[in-house]
């Protein structure tokens, strides 16, 4: 037997109570979640089943698999229809107003659960949990700091992996190997089903300007139209850049980091745009304070690009991304979002990946990305690899 | 500009008409899908947006990203609310009965689309598309055959990657690298959000018996409770098995294959169980004919395990999987399902991964998995690596 709850009692309470405060504000009596990211958030492990969190008191962990878990609040179920009896056995009243993950859960699953609970009222609890998860606890921040350290170790070794004549895909595979040996879990959690990625992207030269269907900051043709993003299998050419933006999930919490490498000399435009990205990060480190509006930070970044005459390359060239930064943690697309129409306001404890990037036609992508911890004293980077463009040859 | 449709006109029609026949049987006037696997099925590419398929005639491809796609039936949208005007412009009547992917699409998305379409009636079109996709076209079968060839090439090279003292994770990383260099796309598509995996599993020794939350045939502790499946990071020990069950997605269509390697001598029980698995595959190759019930095949397999006194190890030991085979193609969990209560009936053109496996305590997992093409003459394996246990040292 093994204990289901892998968080300390204090940590589990901290996370749960943050959600419970938001639940009570909306008059929700209980929420039922089964998204893996949310189960991991509440318990420190992924299991198959549900978590029921009442507006007050401890959670109930309704487990289908694995067998042999135990501890406070653990109850086994075969099907969702078993949940009401488990609640009754635990002395938990059925909720009048039930919160369900309506932005994530399939339509038929929500309908089935409404049939099981027959609540007087139902509410969408996805935004509540996203809001709670956007402010990391000190323990979560520590897990991200650890991911950042390993992520940095991998990036520092990139120059040693390059060989003349390599394709972008071959270089990516060698970095993936190194990253996995360093302990990268590989899995790249993205909320929602529309975005897909394998271990991140390496973008070289012209391929950086190929539009993709995905809502990532950068493009790339990919190896196949079933996954049209990232490395194309083309040889890395002299006079172009190699942008590395790979998975930083070493602890269940991921950092996001981008660095640029070069083969041969680059035109001044590319060097200037890269410096602009670094300068935008320096600006962000000072201005990204709790209470600041996310959209202000987007405009401050876009304005710096415009002042230097770089707008047409900013966040893409043939196709532009609509944001310059995003929250992250268990998933890569958490809150807040640094975008022109974002209504988000920064809070201490946010983790934000800022990625002011530029695509220079025929040369490739430049710019950096750092993961920042928002504190009352400014944004602190967790991703410390050298920011300047590093020559591969 | 690039053409959206990457399938030949004949291939696109073949796939669409299969779904349209099932739509007409249920009186559905049109379906709207946006799942990446389904967009890939209908067009041969993944894009952001929707596909609208009327009960008769060609589809309309409603694209948000990437920019610069063109061709018959391509219409750009910003938001779902733009869809009715695009239908009108294409001369397509609004559906009275609309089919939506209710088993996949989040609740709030379905509600939004019902508001946009205000159909007199709505139906769940997920089962229709799953049914259509379960019978592969000759072109789809060819893509799977190509994946199988590359998958086999990778597995044949596994013995050369092993070094004494390696951990299961280290061996997995070397196989992953080889597979990626061979062209594996890495992404592992699974319908639904509850199952997660990175590039598949390597299971060594005792770790094979650790129960996981996921509905895969085999277990493993994993490296972290955020992804509790597969390799544990422990050293591979003498007298144990190494089961390799890695991603076979080389073409957007994946094969599934498992092979077993050994370090040192194995007990007779493990050898017998492995032979039983091979014998179950031979039985399946003869009996898995169009028209046969999936559950019959499950029982035939379970009976063979029972006759040899191997039931307690069959499909797991501490935790048992509830199936012995599954359909696959674009995703790893397609129809039909070879399980005791399956209502599926085999059809020519099905692709089925059969994985009769056994977990022998202290020794590890044994058994093989092949991907089979169901034909009127029997099941033809697409995965040809040697089936016997191959010694690593």
Average pLDDT over residues B51-65: 97
The ipTM estimated for the assembled molecules is 0.97
CA triple A151-A153-A157, angle to 5 deg: 115
Average pLDDT over residues B119-140: 98
Which residue's entry shows tokens 């397509």? B92
Within 8 A of A249 by CB-CB distance, chain B residues are 226
Q: Answer whether residue A47 shows pLDDT above 90.
A: yes
A196 with B187: Cβ contact below 8 A: yes
B65 with A214: Cβ contact below 8 A: yes
A46 with B107: Cβ contact below 8 A: no
Average pLDDT over residues A359-369: 97
Q: What is the CA radius of gyration of chain A?
A: 22
Q: Within an 8 Å CB–CB cutoff, is residue B71 touching chain A?
A: no
Which chain B residue is nearest to residue A42, measuring alpha carbons? B226
Q: Which of B130, B182, B193 to mutate to test the interface with A (most CBs of A within 10 A)?
A: B193
Instruction: Among B196, B199, B318, select the one facing A67 at the smallest CB separation.
Output: B318
Average pLDDT over residues B143-172: 98
> Is the pLDDT higher at A1 or at B334?
B334
For chain A, give the percent of residues with pLDDT over 70. 100
Q: Within an 8 Å CB–CB cutoff, is residue B130 touching chain A?
A: no
pLDDT value of residue A42:
98
B173 with A185: Cβ contact below 8 A: no
Q: Within an 8 Å CB–CB cutoff, is residue A78 touching chain B?
A: no
Within 8 A of A177 by CB-CB distance, chain B residues are 173-174, 176-177
pLDDT value of residue A329:
98
The distance of B107 to chain A (nearest Cα, Å) reads 4
Q: Is the peptide bond before A66 cis (omega within 30 degrees of 0)?
A: yes
Query: In angstroms, rounded to a whole number, what is the distance separating the alpha carbons of residues A179 and A212?
Result: 25
pLDDT value of residue B58:
96
Average pLDDT over residues A27-45: 98
Query: In angstroms, rounded to a whole number, what is the distance separating the alpha carbons of residues B236 and B241?
Result: 8
Q: Answer whether residue A3 shows pLDDT above 90.
A: yes
B106 with A107: Cβ contact below 8 A: yes
Which DSSP letter does residue A291 get? T
Query: In angstroms, rounded to a whole number, what is the distance separating the alpha carbons of residues B356 and B274?
Result: 9
Q: Within an 8 Å CB–CB cutoff, is residue A36 touching chain B?
A: yes
Q: Answer whether residue A218 shows pLDDT above 90.
A: no
pTM of the model: 0.97
Within 8 A of B49 by CB-CB distance, chain A residues are 213
| Pick from B179, B198, B180, B178: nearest CA to B188 | B198
DSSP string across B59-106: -EEEEEESSSEESTTEEE-SSGGGHHHHHHHTTPPPPSEEEE-TTTSB
pLDDT value of residue A278:
98
Q: Answer whether residue A85 shows pLDDT above 90.
A: yes
pLDDT value of residue B391:
97
Average pLDDT over residues B33-58: 98
pLDDT in tens, B71-98: 999 999 999 999 999 999 999 999 999 9
pLDDT in tens, A134-150: 999 999 999 999 999 99
Q: Answer whether residue A393 shows pLDDT above 90.
A: no
Q: Answer whether residue B393 shows pLDDT above 90.
A: no
pLDDT value of residue B217:
84
Query: In angstroms, rounded to a whole number, what is the distance separating the alpha carbons of residues B336 and B294?
Result: 7
Burial code (b: 16+ CB inside 10 Å, e: under 16) for A141-154 equals: bebbbbbbebbbeb
A187 with B196: Cβ contact below 8 A: yes
pLDDT in tens, B202-257: 999 999 999 999 988 889 999 999 999 999 999 999 999 999 999 999 999 999 99
Average pLDDT over residues A282-292: 98
Distance of CA A381 to the CA centre of its chain: 15
The distance of A377 to chain B (nearest Cα, Å) reads 31
């Amino acid at each position: 037997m093994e204990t289901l709850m892998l968080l300390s009692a204090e940590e589990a309470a901290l996370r749960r109570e943050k959600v419970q405060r938001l639940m009570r504000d909306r008059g929700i009596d209980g929420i039922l979640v089964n998204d893996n990211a949310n189960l991991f958030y509440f318990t420190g492990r992924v299991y198959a089943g549900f978590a029921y969190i009442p507006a007050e008191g401890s959670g109930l962990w309704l487990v289908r698999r694995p067998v042999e878990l135990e501890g406070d609040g653990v109850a086994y179920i075969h099907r969702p229809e078993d949940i009401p009896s488990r609640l009754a056995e635990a002395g938990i009243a059925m909720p009048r107003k039930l919160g369900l993950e309506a932005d994530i859960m399939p339509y038929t699953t929500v309908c089935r659960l409404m049939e099981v609970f027959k609540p007087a009222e139902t509410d969408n609890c996805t935004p509540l949990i996203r809001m709670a998860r956007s402010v990391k606890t000190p323990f979560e921040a520590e897990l991200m700091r650890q991911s950042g350290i390993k992520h940095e170790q991998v990036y520092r070794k990139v120059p040693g992996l390059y060989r003349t004549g390599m394709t972008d895909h071959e270089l990516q595979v060698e970095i993936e190997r190194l990253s996995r040996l360093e302990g990268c879990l590989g899995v790249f959690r993205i909320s929602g089903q529309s975005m897909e990625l394998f271990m991140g992207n390496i973008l070289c030269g012209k391929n950086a300007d190929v539009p993709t269907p995905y809502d990532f900051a950068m493009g790339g043709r990919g190896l196949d139209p079933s996954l049209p993003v990232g490395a194309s299998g083309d040889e890395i050419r002299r006079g172009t850049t190699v942008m590395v933006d790979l998975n930083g999930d070493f602890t269940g919490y991921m950092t996001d980091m981008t660095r640029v490498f070069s083969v041969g000399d680059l035109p001044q435009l590319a060097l200037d745009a890269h410096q602009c990205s670094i300068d935008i990060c320096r600006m962000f480190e000072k201005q990204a304070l709790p209470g600041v509006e996310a959209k202000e930070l987007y405009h401050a970044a876009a304005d710096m690009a415009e002042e230097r005459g770089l707008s047409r390359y900013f966040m893409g060239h043939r196709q532009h991304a609509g944001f310059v930064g995003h929250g992250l943690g268990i998933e890569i697309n958490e809150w807040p979002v640094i975008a022109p129409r974002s209504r988000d306001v920064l809070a201490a404890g946010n983790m934000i990946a800022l990625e002011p990037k530029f695509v220079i036609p025929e040369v490739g992508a430049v710019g950096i990305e750092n993961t920042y911890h928002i504190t009352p004293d400014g944004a602190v980077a967790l991703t410390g690899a050298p920011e300047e463009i590093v020559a591969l040859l």
